[in-house]
Amino acid sequence: MNDHDVDVVLIGAGATGLYLAALFARDRLRVQLLERRAEPTRHSRAIGIHPPGLQALDEVGAATPLLERGIRVTRGHATAGDRQRGVRHLGTLDFAATLDGDHRFVLTVPQSDTEAVLEARLAALAPGALRRGVRVTHWQEDAEGVTVHDDAGGSLRTPLLVACTGANGASHESLGAHLAGGPYPDTYVMADLPQSAERFPPGTAGMPGPEEALIHLAPHGVVEAFPLPGGIRRWVVKTPRLLDDADPAHLAELAFERLGVTLDAQAVTMSSAFGVQHRRARPFARGRTWLAGDAAHVVAPIGGQGMTLAWLGARTLRDAWRAHLEGHTSTEEAARSYDALQHPRARRAEMRGAVNMQLGRATRLHSLRSGLVRLALHDPFAGRLARIFTMQEGRA
Ligand X SMILES: Cc1cc2nc3c(=O)[nH]c(=O)nc-3n(C[C@H](O)[C@H](O)[C@H](O)COP(=O)(O)OP(=O)(O)OC[C@H]3O[C@@H](n4cnc5c(N)ncnc54)[C@H](O)[C@@H]3O)c2cc1C
Residue choice 45, 238, 278, 352 for contact with ligand X (CB under 6 A): 45
Q: Judged by CB under 6 A, does residue 274 bind ligand X? A: yes
DSSP category for residue 201:
P
Residue 11 beta carbon to ligand X: minimum distance, rounded to whole angstroms: 5
Q: Which is nearer to ligand X, 42 or 199 (CB)?
A: 42
Helix (H, G, I), strand (E, B) or coil at 396: coil
Q: Which is nearer to ligand X, 289 or 308 (CB)?
A: 308
Label residue 133 left, alpha or beta by phi (over 0 means left) and psi (-120 to 50 means alpha). Answer: left
CB 132 within 8 A of CB 13: yes
Q: Judged by CB under 6 A, does residue 307 bind ligand X? A: yes
CA distance 215 to 48: 14
Is the bond preceding residue 127 a cis peptide, omega within 30 degrees?
Answer: no
Site string for ligand X, 199-228 (x = CB under 6 A): ------------------------------
CA distance 169 to 126: 26
Q: Judged by CB under 6 A, does residue 48 bind ligand X? A: yes
CA distance 392 to 396: 5
Q: Which is nearer to ligand X, 81 or 301 (CB)?
A: 301
Q: Which is nearer to ligand X, 311 or 321 (CB)?
A: 311
Q: Which is nearer to ligand X, 33 or 87 (CB)?
A: 33
Residue 199 beta carbon to ligand X: minimum distance, rounded to whole angstroms: 25
CB 26 within 8 A of CB 95: no
CB 353 within 8 A of CB 299: yes
Residue 215 CA, distance from chain mean position: 18
Residue of 338, 349, 340, 333 whose CA lies nearest to 394: 349
Q: Judged by CB under 6 A, does residue 306 bind ligand X? A: yes
Residue 362 beta carbon to ligand X: minimum distance, rounded to whole angstroms: 20
Q: Which is nearer to ligand X, 81 or 304 (CB)?
A: 304
Helix (H, G, I), strand (E, B) or coil at 215: strand
Q: Which is nearer to ligand X, 40 or 61 (CB)?
A: 40
Size of the site for ligand X (CB under 6 A): 33
Q: Judged by CB under 6 A, does residue 34 bind ligand X? A: yes
Q: Which is nearer to ligand X, 15 or 217 (CB)?
A: 15
Residue 93 beta carbon to ligand X: minimum distance, rounded to whole angstroms: 16
Site string for ligand X, 103-142 (x = CB under 6 A): --------x-----------------------xx------
Residue 300 beta carbon to ligand X: minimum distance, rounded to whole angstroms: 9
Residue 278 beta carbon to ligand X: minimum distance, rounded to whole angstroms: 12
Residue 143 CA, distance from chain mean position: 34
Q: Judged by CB under 6 A, does residue 11 bind ligand X? A: yes
Residue 345 beta carbon to ligand X: minimum distance, rounded to whole angstroms: 14
Distances (CA, A) of 61 to 34, 58, 114, 124, 152: 22, 5, 12, 10, 33
CB 162 within 8 A of CB 10: yes
Q: Considering only 2-10, 141-149, 301-309, 379-387, which stretch makes contact with ligand X by CB under 6 A?
A: 301-309
Q: Judged by CB under 6 A, does residue 294 bind ligand X? A: yes
Residue choice 13, 109, 207, 281 for contact with ligand X (CB under 6 A): 13
CA distance 180 to 296: 11
Q: Judged by CB under 6 A, does residue 260 bind ligand X? A: no
Amino acid identity, residue 45? R
Q: Judged by CB under 6 A, does residue 65 bind ligand X? A: no
CB 179 within 8 A of CB 279: yes
Q: Considering only 8-16, 78-86, 351-359, 383-391, which stretch makes contact with ligand X by CB under 6 A?
A: 8-16
Helix (H, G, I), strand (E, B) or coil at 47: coil
Helix (H, G, I), strand (E, B) or coil at 377: coil
Distances (CA, A) of 91 to 58, 75, 108, 135: 32, 10, 21, 49
Q: Residue numbers of the site for ligand X (CB under 6 A)?
A: 11-17, 34-37, 45-48, 111, 135-136, 164-167, 169, 274, 293-294, 301, 304-308, 310
